[in-house]
Amino acid sequence: MTRRIPIFDGFDEELSYKKHQVYESLIKGVSEAIKTDKELIKLCEVKNSGVYITVEKPEWKQSLDSALEYYISTEEYEECTKIKNLINKL
């Protein structure tokens, strides 16, 4: 199944408003990158600009830690397990 990168209208407001989509993209992106031995993931795209927000491998752990805090706060523990497994693979 091909991963779909979320497309947003703008940078600041919309990304903070759509944390769930951003973190979901992060988890799927890191998971794929680990399997394919990539050093960079595309997190999301800014609509009609051709600009992608990316996350490089050295930043994955910190980003996954933020995602973990988010999913703990929303009590989505299955996602927490996925994130912990990804962190252990890094």
Residue 16 above 70 pLDDT?
no
Give the pLDDT score at 9. Answer: 79
* Contact between residue 51 and residue 45 where contact means Cβ atoms under 8 Å apart: yes
What distance, in Å, lies between the first and last C-alpha atoms of the chain? 23
Six-digit token pair at 1? 């199944």
Whether 49 shows a pLDDT value over 90: the answer reads: no
State what percent of residues in the chain have pLDDT above 90: 71
Q: Tell me, what's the pLDDT at 46?
A: 86
Radius of gyration of the chain from Cα atoms?
A: 13
Give pLDDT, residue 70: 96
Q: Which two tokens stand for residue 57?
A: 């491998």
Segment 4-33 shows an average pLDDT of 83
Strand order across the 40-46 sheet? 7-8, 40-46, 51-56
